[in-house]
Amino acid sequence: MQKGWLLSMAYKAEIFDLWQHLCGEIFEPLIRCGIDFEGRVDETILKQAVTASLKTIPIIGCGFGGTANRPRWVEKGFTGKDIVRVVESWQNSEDDVLKCLSSGIDFPNEPQLKIFIVRKIKDDTLCVIISHAVCDGAGFKRYLYLLGEIYTKLKNNHPIILPAFCPRGVKPLFAGIPMKEKMRILFTDYNAYSSANKTNQRGVGFQSCGSETVMKRQIISSEEFNRLKHFAKAEGVTINDCLMALFARVFCKNTDTDRILLPSTIDLRKFIPPNRAYGIGNYSSNCMCVIPVRPEDTLIDTVKRVAKQMDAHKSDKGILKSVMLWGLAARAPWFLLKWGFPKYAVQPVVSFTNLGIIDMSKLKFDNLYIKYAYLTASIKPRPYLQLTASTFNDCCTLGFNIYGSEKDKQFVCTMLGDMRKEIKEIGKQAQT
């Protein structure tokens, strides 16, 4: 009886699954990870590890398709052999990494996960792409840790004890909230991203046509990142506040504007009671900050404005309102939901998401040394622009992914370069 219940839950499309599926009309709902190893990945063991992981997260091996009434996860019989591929790369290894990392997923017909082992002259790079319908950034990291753990045990012929499948719905978010509080949240006036915000939010004025895949990264070294951390601690703010402020400043500088409406992702898992089990899924939402940037403003001025707004968002359960409203809307017939989604569901034009810290102690593939790892997100069409950030081994990777031209590439490179310059200025100020 219990097994049948788990199986039915595995195939159910949760409300965030539906959201990401509908977002696919605007841009690809994918999250990506690059892992640079010192040495070779055992592709046979990795395929076995992926196959084993499907017992815990079966929807990875499913297609996601629409039906007359509602999309659902459809079992396709995929295994690790369908998901893991080896790409031999000897000369243009970085080009091959970019090509693999920018790969898409045919959601109805392919697994919701793709893994490429880019085989270089001496070392391997793992390019991992997962459907955002499966999980958010925090869920993706949780899956990568699980995959590495299974790989390590298989490599050493140790028994595998897989975590049980857990339901992925939003019920855990509200498990510790009484009905009276839920009603207060539902009717609160929460400052979320809205159609009015979108009307007032400036996009990116790409100056020329082009459809080239542009994935640009800027690595903030451990020395530079430590400067930023010391600055944040001294000012009583977070690293996330600082990165948002830096983005706001360089965006306004390069678009000749004096303010930015900047949505930021907030992890909702903090609302889940400590003893409540939940699956690998989507548990995040957006909050919106209005950030003015005047010519005379210092970085401290901008950071303080961001921190004040973010502190209010993080301490307010009102951010759950959007989850509740979408949960109610998602009960509508599928044809009506598809019709109304582009009219009423608003996607931020310019946004920021911090995909968090990749824990070195948890990301382990046997004894392979990991030189570097980072997370990044969707490739956006114009006028959408999203800055992503992730941290590994005290280094921070900032990235923009867009479809554009050579001039567009120069624009995002300038933005990333300007952010790094501002961080370097922090170091100079500290020395004076």
Range of the domain at 83: 2-155
* pLDDT tier, 61 (very low <50, low <70, confident <90, very high otherwise): very high
| Interatomic CA distance for residues 406 and 237, integer angstroms | 37
**Residue 183 domain-assigned?**
yes
Question: For residue 205, what is the domain's CATH number?
Answer: 3.30.559.30
Compute the average pLDDT of residues 97-121.
94
377, 27 Cβ separation under 8 angstroms? no
**pLDDT digits over 287-310, tens only?**
888 999 998 999 999 999 999 999
What pLDDT is recorded for position 1?
33
What pLDDT is recorded for position 212?
86
* pLDDT tier, 251 (very low <50, low <70, confident <90, very high otherwise): very high
What pLDDT is recorded for position 204?
60
Which of 112, 35, 102, 123 is CA-nearest to residue 75?
112
C-alpha to C-alpha distances, 243 to 175, 186, 347, nearest whole angstrom = 32, 31, 21
Q: Which of 3-7, 22-26, 136-140, 394-398 has the lowest mean pLDDT?
A: 3-7
Question: For residue 7, what is the domain's CATH number?
Answer: 3.30.559.10
Compute the average pLDDT of residues 336-358.
86
Compute the average pLDDT of residues 11-19.
86
Of the residues 130, 155, 180, the one at which a domain ends: 155
C-alpha to C-alpha distances, 116 to 41, 58, 83, 317, nearest whole angstrom = 11, 20, 8, 40
Q: Is the pLDDT of residue 240 over 70?
A: yes
312 in the same domain as 185: yes
97 in the same domain as 186: no
**Side chain identity, residue 380:** K
What pLDDT is recorded for position 201?
55
Q: Based on the structure, what is the number of domains in the chain?
A: 2
**Residue 165 domain-assigned?**
no
* pLDDT tier, 7 (very low <50, low <70, confident <90, very high otherwise): very low
pTM score, whole prediction? 0.92
The most confident of 66-70, 157-161, 202-206, 396-400, by mean pLDDT: 396-400
**Radius of gyration, CA atoms only, the chain:** 22
Q: Is the pLDDT of residue 253 over 50?
A: yes
